């Protein structure tokens, strides 16, 4: 089954954010918006919630984006969507077709 059947399914705008420690004596972090792109957000089904309960993948969402982006994405970055920031748990690239990449992000309450 394909990840996306139609490109129109990429209908949510997300922003990839990098967090870095402040340079200097003051504590804190600096947030830098790297780029924005269109995405498809896939939430967990009820059976997924039950099966993944107690694992690292409990309370996660899948964010599908195009494989080729303006910058390389790693799991130290955050995804900003609808005003909230989500840490990236896992990145699943598409080595075969090089079309779409899936970012597994943690829902933080």
Domain ranges of the chain: 7-106
Of all residues in the chain, what percent carry a pLDDT higher than 70?
A: 97
Q: What is the pLDDT of residue 3?
A: 79
User: Which is the CATH superfamily of the domain at 7-106?
Assistant: Bacteriophage SPP1 head-tail adaptor protein (2.40.10.270)
Largest CA distance in the chain: 52
State how far the Cα of 57 lies from the Cα of 51, in Å rounded to an integer: 10
Length of the chain: 109
Spans of the chain, pLDDT less than 50:
none
User: Can you list the positions of beta strands (E) in 1-109?
Assistant: 12-21, 29-42, 60-66, 78-81, 84-92, 100-106
Q: What is the dihedral of CA 5, 96, 74, 82, to 10 degrees?
A: 0
Note whether 107 and 70 are within 8 A (CB): no
- Mean pLDDT across the chain: 87
Q: What is the pLDDT of residue 95?
A: 87
pTM: 0.84
């Amino acid at each position: 089954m394909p990840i996306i059947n139609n490109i129109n399914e990429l209908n949510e705008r997300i922003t990839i954010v990098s967090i870095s420690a402040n340079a200097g004596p003051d504590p804190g972090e600096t947030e830098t918006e790297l780029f924005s792109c269109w995405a498809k957000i896939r939430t967990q089904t009820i059976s997924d919630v039950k099966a993944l309960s107690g694992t690292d993948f409990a309370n996660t969402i899948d964010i599908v984006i195009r494989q080729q982006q303006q910058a390389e994405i790693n799991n130290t970055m955050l995804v900003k969507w609808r005003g909230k920031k989500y840490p990236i748990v896992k990145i699943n690239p598409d080595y075969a077709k090089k079309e779409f990449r899936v970012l597994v992000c943690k829902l933080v309450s």
